[in-house]
Amino acid sequence: MEDNIFDQIANSYDSEERKELARIIANAIKPKLKESKNKSLLDFGCGTGLVGLELAPFVDKIFFTDSSEQMLEIINKKIIQGNIKNAEVIPHGSTAGIRVDIIIVSLVLLHIPAVSETLSQLYSILNANGKLIIVDFNKNEKINHPKVHNGFTNEELKSLFENAGFKNIEIQTFHHGKNIFIGQDASLFISTSLK
């Protein structure tokens, strides 16, 4: 679950398939952002910003962070080229000083070895009553890869969220796709929980 692989693939990351999946994910997140026009949002593990940039018009301020410097360079170029005034890139490891109302984590948890610690970190970044929105893959036993989790069950997620302090946890499957998870058919869930 190394960071450098994402530096290596950053320049070719925005494939048509990834763009389409990002649109599907962003469209699932948008209804969760009702009444968020005056709120701040952190796209944690933003990659090249395919999901977060779609959400920028729905919030007052959006922050992007990722463990890959190359990904952050690409998102920064997109922000400048798109003249997106409410967006800011935060270097990896520099989130300690910020507090936000909403955090989105899209297709990131599967790459994180220490999920519990990451959820606790995200909890500390959220303002009171802040919202965590996670999109990732449902558990898929066909996936066996040394660098990623093979998805998550609702029970696993609920336990992880509760242990980190989150409440009002909602999880639902919203998309089934062909060859979207390491060459396998898979389904995506969206979860929301509150601090």
When pLDDT is cut at 50, 70 and 90, the band that residue 140 belongs to is low
* Mean pLDDT calculated for residue range 175-185: 74
Domain boundaries, the chain: 4-194
* Mean pLDDT calculated for residue range 69-75: 91
* Residue 62 confidence (pLDDT): 98
Distances in whole angstroms, Cα of residue 34 to Cα of each of 15, 30, 115: 29, 7, 28
Neighbours of 20 (CB within 10 A): 13
* Residue 2 confidence (pLDDT): 45
Cα separation, 144 vs 142, in Å, equals 6
The predicted model scores a pTM of 0.88
> What is the token pair recorded at 103?
């955090």
Per the CATH hierarchy, to which homologous superfamily does domain 4-194 belong? Vaccinia Virus protein VP39 (3.40.50.150)
* Residue 1 confidence (pLDDT): 40
